[in-house]
Amino acid sequence: MHAFQEAIENGRATGNAEAVVNLLAEDVVFRSPVVFKPYAGRAAVEPLMRAVVRVFDEFGFTRHIGEPAGSQHAFVFRGRIGDREVEGCDFISTRGDGLIDEFFVMIRPLSGAIALAEAMQNELAGSDAAA
């Protein structure tokens, strides 16, 4: 299992995103499925990773695309937020040291993306990361 997948699954099980945060490079760039401007830097992305492990009622990876030792990966997932089913894909790029330097997420359908945006906004309320 890829370190990213393991970190997300363990974070979901424990409610602790520390393993995911530890995989982020200091200069990571995160592109959200619901916010136009990218989040730049570990400090900006960390609250998002901590929140996302808590907002899905159900979540599971269905496929990993990419060479295990490669630097480009796609992780297809399914989940539920409230009464909305979502499908999506996490695209990550890793550096030579294995840290994630680019991360973007795509979600479908639109109603699922809206549910995710609302859940994340509620989870991040009062945080500088809310947008």
Residue 114 is part of a domain; what is its CATH number? 3.10.450.50
Residue 131 placed within a domain: no
- In the chain, the number of structural domains is 1
Q: Is residue 53 part of a domain?
A: yes
Q: What is the pLDDT of residues 85-97, one digit of tens each?
A: 999 999 999 999 9
Q: Residues 91, 106: contact at Cβ < 8 Å?
A: yes
Helix-, strand-, coil-residue percentages of the chain, each rounded to 5: 35, 35, 30
Residue 129 within a domain? no
Tell me whether residue 95 is in a domain: yes
**Residue 90 domain boundaries:** 3-123
- C-alpha 34/C-alpha 110 separation (Å) is 10
Asked whether residue 128 is assigned to any structural domain, the reply reads no
Integer CA distances (angstroms), 68 to 3, 5, 20, 31, 53, in order: 10, 12, 18, 23, 23
Write down the pLDDT at residue 2: 85
Tell whether pTM > 0.85: yes
Q: Is residue 130 part of a domain?
A: no
pLDDT at 107 over 60: yes
